């Protein structure tokens, strides 16, 4: 029993300090344990119970370490107790390093967004230039088509008079050539207008992206 009492007395030293408690602890050596009772640590019952000696309660040293979040060990006749850090504990140095890394990431993302915004602005400028060129080409093409259509309306009924008689314009190869040229002009106009619509859509999408923070 004496050996057991000495082991339990170590818990008392945690509460009042070894230097001020030695005389009181020494007086307990050889005394009987008054009683014992179950000790619950972190919701689980300790294998070694708590005890009472001369009206005072004492708990096992390792159990005390668990309660205070400390690691307990014996070294050269001394009890060593070291406070353990919780799993989610972050030291000031680690916190500063994390903050530095996060700031670098934020700066990099901001720089990347700025570069992307600049590229999109340049692209929008290029598209606007192409749109203006296409608008001019479309205007010219429409004028050319209108002139061709007006010229066809003014074509003479006969295009040539021979000994065999007059050759009508209607149904002639010349009329077919004029109609073919007009159809090609209209096809070119449709292609230009389709390209213009595509560029205007791209410009609208870029402007929406630039407006979005």
- 3-state SS, 11-76, equals HHHHHHCHHHHHHHHHHHCCCCCCEEECCEECCEECCCCEEEECCEEECCHHHHHHHCCEEEEEEC
Taking 70 as the threshold, does the pLDDT of residue 6 lie above it?
A: no
pLDDT at 88: 65
Lowest mean pLDDT among 7-21, 109-123, 141-155: 7-21
Lowest mean pLDDT among 112-121, 140-149, 153-162: 153-162
CA 79 vs. chain centroid, Å, equals 49
Q: What is the mean pLDDT of residues 16-40?
A: 61
Taking 70 as the threshold, does the pLDDT of residue 30 lie above it?
A: no
As a whole number of angstroms, the distance between CA 133 and CA 7 comes to 95
Taking 50 as the threshold, does the pLDDT of residue 186 lie above it?
A: yes
Q: What is the mean pLDDT of residues 200-204?
A: 94
pLDDT at 53: 77
As a whole number of angstroms, the distance between CA 117 and CA 197 comes to 23
Are 48 and 36 in contact by the 8 Å Cβ rule? The answer is no
Taking 60 as the threshold, does the pLDDT of residue 17 lie above it?
A: no
Residue predicted with more confidence, 168 or 128: 128
Which residues, 6+ apart, have CB-to-CB distance to 128 below 8 Å?
203
User: How deeply is 10 buried, as exposed, middle or buried, from its count of CB atoms within 10 A (0-12, 13-18, 19+)?
Assistant: buried
Which residues, 6+ apart, have CB-to-CB distance to 31 below 8 Å?
5, 53, 54
How does pLDDT run across 36-78, given as a tens digit for each residue? 778 776 677 777 787 777 767 777 766 666 666 667 776 666 7
Residue predicted with more confidence, 6 or 77: 77
pLDDT at 16: 39
As a whole number of angstroms, the distance between CA 145 and CA 156 comes to 19
User: How deeply is 131 buried, as exposed, middle or buried, from its count of CB atoms within 10 A (0-12, 13-18, 19+)?
Assistant: middle
Taking 80 as the threshold, does the pLDDT of residue 168 lie above it?
A: yes
Tokens of 70: 């400390």
Which residues, 6+ apart, have CB-to-CB distance to 169 below 8 Å?
155, 156, 157, 158, 159, 175
pLDDT at 91: 75
At residue 101 the predicted structure's pLDDT band, cuts being 50, 70 and 90, is very high
pLDDT at 191: 96
Tokens of 155: 């074509």
Tokens of 51: 């005890």
At residue 5 the predicted structure's pLDDT band, cuts being 50, 70 and 90, is very low
pLDDT at 58: 73
């Amino acid at each position: 029993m004496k050996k057991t009492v000495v082991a339990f007395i170590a818990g008392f030293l945690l509460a009042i300090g070894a230097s001020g408690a030695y005389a009181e602890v020494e007086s307990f050596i050889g005394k009987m344990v008054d009683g014992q009772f179950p000790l619950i640590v972190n919701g689980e019952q300790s294998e070694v119970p708590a005890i009472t000696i001369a009206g005072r309660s004492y708990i096992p040293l390792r159990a005390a370490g668990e309660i205070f979040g400390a690691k307990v060990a014996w070294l050269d006749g001394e009890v060593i107790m070291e406070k353990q850090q919780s799993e989610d504990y972050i030291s000031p140095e680690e916190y500063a390093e994390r903050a530095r890394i996060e700031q670098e990431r934020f700066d990099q993302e901001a720089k990347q967004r700025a570069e992307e915004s600049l590229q999109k602005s340049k692209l929008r400028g290029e598209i606007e230039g192409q749109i203006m060129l296409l608008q001019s080409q479309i205007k010219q093409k429409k004028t050319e088509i209108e002139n061709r259509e007006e010229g066809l309306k003014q074509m003479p009924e006969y295009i040539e008079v021979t000994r065999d008689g007059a050759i009508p314009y209607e149904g002639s190869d010349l009329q077919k050539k004029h109609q073919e040229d007009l159809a090609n002009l209209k096809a070119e106009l449709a292609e230009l207008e389709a390209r213009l619509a595509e560029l205007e859509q791209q410009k609208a999408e870029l402007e929406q992206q630039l407006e979005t923070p």
